[in-house]
Amino acid sequence: MALRPLTLPLSITRRIAPLSRPFSSSTVSHPSNQIQIYISRLTDPYLNLSIEHFLLQRTPPDSFVLLLYANRPCVVVGRNQNPWVEANLGLLRERGVLGRLRRDHFQNGGDGSGVGYGEGEENDILLVRRRSGGGAVFHDAGNANWSVICPPASFDRDAHAAMVVRALGSRLGVAGCRVNARHDIVMDIPSSPSSASPILPRSSSPPADAGGERESGEASQPFKISGSAYKLTRSRSLHHGTCLLSSPHLPLLGRVLRSPAAPYILARGVESVRSPVRNAGVGSLRAFEDAVVAEFGAMYRADQAGVKVQVLGGDGDGEEGVSEEAVRGIPEVRRGYEELVSPEWIYTQTPQFTFSTHPSASDPRPRPAAPFRMSMTVRHGKITEASLSSSSSPSSTNLDSEFSLLGKHLHLVRDWREYIPGARGEWLNGIFGGGGDDIGRDNTKS
Amino acid sequence: MASIMRCVRAAASRPSTFSRIAQANTSMRASNWKPATLARSFSSSPIRDIRKYTKEHEWIDLNADQTAGVIGISSYAAEELGDVVYVELPEEGREVGAGDAIGAVESVKSAADINAPVACRITSVNRLLEEKPGTINQVPEDDSHGGGWIAKVAVGEQGLKDLEALMTAEEYTAFTGEEH
C-alpha cells in the first residue's frame, strides 16, 4: 500500500496532545490520525491487551499504530492453547511464587541479583489468554511488548519484527539479531560451552522450522529474544511480539512453563515449541521504547509528522499521561477487560482435550507412572467423560467419583479430594495444581 | 477470513495456482476445481445456483430455493494462511449479520477471524475440522462430507440482499489477482 506522505514537523515528545479527551474512542478513530503511537506505563496484562484490542477495533482502517508496554509477571498463552499443558498452574496459584522461586534458585548458586523481592503483586504470576494465535510466553517488567496495527493489505509477518531488529541493532547496539524462519527474533551467539541456556520457553511453530536455525553454521547458536503472534480481523491486522531486554527470571521459566499434567494430556489446538532464550541485554525499557518509536517513525514517515507519543498511565515521575482511570473508563476497553479476566475466556475457551494416566491407542506416549487409572475428556473446559479404576477402591466408589465429576468445569475443581478421596485426589492436586486459590481475579482491578 | 499476508511464503509464485486455474476455467465451479494432488472425489451436487465470495475471502453457496447455504474460506485464503492448526467453529443457532466474526482459524501464530458473508443463522458446523483442521488447506471449497466447509446456514431476506454485494467466482479471481 502506498503510504500517505506526511508533511507535519516531527516532534516525538512524551506529552499528550492538547485535547480534552486525548484517549477515547472518538480520538483514536478520527480519520486524521493516520499514525498513532502509544506507550502504556500500565502493567496489568489484561488491561494492556484490552487497550491493544480497542486500538485494533477502533483505529481508522488505513492507519498505522504502535503500542508499547511491559506487563507485571504473567504467563500469556495463545488463543487456542491449553493452560493445563502450557503452565504450571499449581505454581501460578501460589501467592508470592516468584519470590520463593528466586530465593530457591539464588540460594543454590545463582548470582543473587534481585534477591529481596517482597510478597507483593510483583511476585505473583497471572494467567492470561490473549486473542492472538501462537504459543505461551512469560512476561515481566524486563520483557517489553511491542505491537503494530496496520491495514490488512500491508500485513507482513516479518516487517515489524525487522523493525525491532533495526531498533536493537542500529539504535541500541545489540549485534547479531535477525528474524528467523519462524518470525521470531533471534540473537546469534558464538558457540562456547558456557553459552547454552538451560531455559526453554516457547513459541509456536512447527518444530520442522527449527532446522533453519542452523543456517548460520556451527560457530554460533541462535537464542530467541522475541516471539511474534498475530490477529487478523476483517479490516485490520495486528502483529505483536515480546522482546526480552533484561528479565531477571530466565532461570525460572522452565519451572513456570512446564506443567506436571502435560505428559497425560492429549490436546487439540496449539502446542508451544520450546526455544532457548536469552536477554538482549538492554537495561533500559525507556531506551528500547525510544529506539522502537524512532524506527516506527522512520518506517511510516512520521519523522515529518507531528505525531506525538501518547503515554497511558504515566510513571508518576513528572511524566504526563492519560490516567489509568480514564483508560479503564473507555467502554470498549472495559468490555474487553471483562472478557479477558473471565474464567470463561481463560479456561473454557480451551480446545477439547483428553487426560489419561496411562497410554492408550489414541495417545500412546510413554508417561510418568500414575498410582491409579483415570481418563477424562474435557470439552469447552467441562468434564464430559470420566472413568476411574483402582484395585484398592470398590467400583461403586469409583462410580460416585465419576458421577460427581461429570459436567464440572475443570478449573472449578480446586481440590480433587472432594471428588476422589485419599491419595488419588492428592496426586491429582499435584498434577493439576489443585488445593489452592486462584490469584488471577482478585489481584486485578476492575 | 481477514487480511492475507504478502510475504508469508516468498517462494510461492503469484498469482496463486488457484487463481491461474480458475482464470483458465472461469465457467467451472470453484468448488469442483480439484488440485492434481487430491485423489478424493466430491459427492456434492455439480449443479449449484450461486457461489459468491467476499473481499475477506469467504465463500457462500446457496441452495436452489435460496433459503439455506454453506460457507467456508476460499482456496486462495487457505493457501495464503499456511498450515491451519486449529479452527474455532461458529456457535450453532447463532443469528449473525454480514461481516460479523463467527469463528476463527489459527495458522502460523495468526488467529484470523472468519466473518459471515451475509446475514444468516448458523444451523450446523463442520465438526470434522475440530479433529482435522488441515482439511481447510486440502479442500477449503468443498462443501461435501469430508470437505473443508465451515458451517451450514439458513438465509432470509436480509441475507439475500447481502448476497448481491458479493463477488462471483470470476470477479473474485480478478480481485485476488489484483491484490498481488
What does the alpha-carbon distance between residue B37 and residue B129 come to, in Å, rounded to a whole number?
20
What confidence score (pLDDT) does residue A297 get?
93
What confidence score (pLDDT) does residue A416 get?
92
Of A309, A331, A347, which marks where a domain is finished? A347
What confidence score (pLDDT) does residue B30 get?
43
Contact call for A134 and B109, based on CB within 8 A? yes
State the nearest Cα–Cα gap between B46 and chain A, in angstroms: 31
CA dihedral A255→A259→A262→A264, nearest 10 degrees, is 120
Task: Scan for cell 512446564, then name that residue.
Answer: A258
Same-domain status, A109 and A196: yes
Tell whether A161 is within 8 A of chain B (Cβ): no
A251: domain CATH number is 3.30.930.10
Is there a domain that residue A48 lies in?
A: yes
Same-domain status, A205 and A321: yes
Domain assignments of chain B as residue spans, ordered by start:
17-178
Contact call for A237 and B131, based on CB within 8 A? no
Same-domain status, A43 and A140: yes
Contact list in B for residue A344 (CB cut-off 8 A) is none
Using the predicted structure, report yes or no on whether residue B35 has a pLDDT greater than 60: no
Same-domain status, A273 and A420: no
Contact list in B for residue A232 (CB cut-off 8 A) is 1-3, 110-113
Of A302, A330, A347, which marks where a domain is finished? A347
Which grid cell sits at A58? 477502533
Contact call for B111 and A230, based on CB within 8 A? yes
How many domains does chain A fold into? 2
Tell whether A155 is within 8 A of chain B (Cβ): yes
Q: Among residues A197, A44, A231, A204, which one has the least CA distance to residue A124? A: A44
Which of A131, A155, A351 has its CB closest to that of B3? A155
Angle at A270 between CA B86 and CA A380, to 5 degrees: 70
State the nearest Cα–Cα gap between A80 and chain B, in angstroms: 7
Same-domain status, A334 and A384: no
Using the predicted structure, report yes or no on whether residue B23 has a pLDDT greater than 90: no
Contact list in B for residue A204 (CB cut-off 8 A) is 109
Q: How far is CA B56 from CA A212, A233, A330, A369, A445, in A?
A: 32, 9, 29, 49, 37
Same-domain status, A297 and A362: no
Is there a domain that residue A404 lies in?
A: yes
Is there a domain that residue A266 lies in?
A: yes
> For residue A411, what are the domain limits?
352-432
Residue B153: DSSP 8-state: E
What does the alpha-carbon distance between residue A309 and residue A413 come to, in Å, rounded to a whole number?
46
- Which of B3, B5, B109 to mutate: most A Cβ within 10 Å? B109
Same-domain status, A330 and A375: no
Q: How far is CA A353 from CA A64, A69, A81, A168, A410, in A?
A: 39, 33, 11, 40, 11
Distance of CA A227 to the CA centre of its chain: 10
Task: Scan for cell 511453530, then name that residue.
Answer: A205
Handedness of CA A346, A348, A351, A354 (dihedral sign): positive
Of A347, A379, A404, which marks where a domain is finished? A347
Please tell me which of A205-209, A288-292, B16-20, B167-171 the model is most confident about, judged by mean pLDDT. Answer: A288-292
Same-domain status, A274 and A361: no
Q: How many residues are there in chain A? A: 446
Contact call for B86 and A231, based on CB within 8 A? no
Using the predicted structure, report yes or no on whether residue B11 has a pLDDT greater than 50: no
A25's CB contacts (< 8 A; 6+ apart) are A54, A58, A330, A331, A332
What confidence score (pLDDT) does residue A358 get?
92
Walk along chain A (446 residues) and give the pLDDT tens digit of each residue.
Answer: 334 433 333 444 444 444 446 789 999 999 889 999 999 999 999 999 999 999 999 999 999 999 999 999 999 999 999 999 999 999 999 888 898 898 888 776 555 454 444 557 789 999 999 999 999 999 999 999 999 999 987 778 899 999 999 999 999 999 999 999 999 999 998 876 554 444 444 544 444 433 344 444 567 899 999 999 999 998 999 999 999 999 999 999 999 999 999 999 999 999 898 899 999 999 999 999 999 999 999 999 876 667 889 999 976 666 778 999 999 999 999 999 999 999 999 999 999 999 999 998 888 999 999 888 999 999 999 999 998 887 666 677 778 888 888 999 999 999 999 988 888 899 999 999 876 555 544 444 43
Same-domain status, A312 and A424: no
Using the predicted structure, report yes or no on whether residue B162 has a pLDDT greater than 60: yes
Q: Mark out chain B residues that contact chain A at CB-CB < 8 A.
A: 1-8, 56, 83, 85-86, 88, 99, 101, 104, 106-113, 115, 130-131, 179
The DSSP line for A98-147 is HHHHHHHHHHTT---TT----SSGGG--EEEE-SS-S--EEE-TTEEEEE
What does the alpha-carbon distance between residue A188 and residue A212 come to, in Å, rounded to a whole number?
13
What does the alpha-carbon distance between residue A319 and residue A330 come to, in Å, rounded to a whole number?
22
Task: For chain A, positions 270-309, list CB contacts with chain B under 8 A.
Answer: 270
Q: What is the CATH number of domain B17-178?
A: 2.40.50.100
Contact call for A206 and B83, based on CB within 8 A? yes
What confidence score (pLDDT) does residue B16 get?
39
Q: Using only the alpha carbons of chain B, give its radius of gyration.
A: 15
Task: Scan for cell 476483517, then name that residue.
Answer: A234
Determine the residue of chain B that is closest to A239 in CA distance. Answer: B110
pLDDT: which is higher, A333 or B177: A333
Q: Among residues A365, A343, A200, A344, which one has the least CA distance to residue A266? A: A365
pLDDT tier at B105, thresholds 50, 70, 90: very high
Same-domain status, A204 and A299: yes
Same-domain status, A132 and A256: yes
Same-domain status, A289 and A393: no
Contact call for A80 and B111, based on CB within 8 A? yes
* ipTM of the complex, rounded to two decimals: 0.81
Is there a domain that residue A361 lies in?
A: yes
What confidence score (pLDDT) does residue B144 get?
86
Contact call for B86 and A236, based on CB within 8 A? no
Which of B85, B111, B115 has its CB closest to that of A234? B115
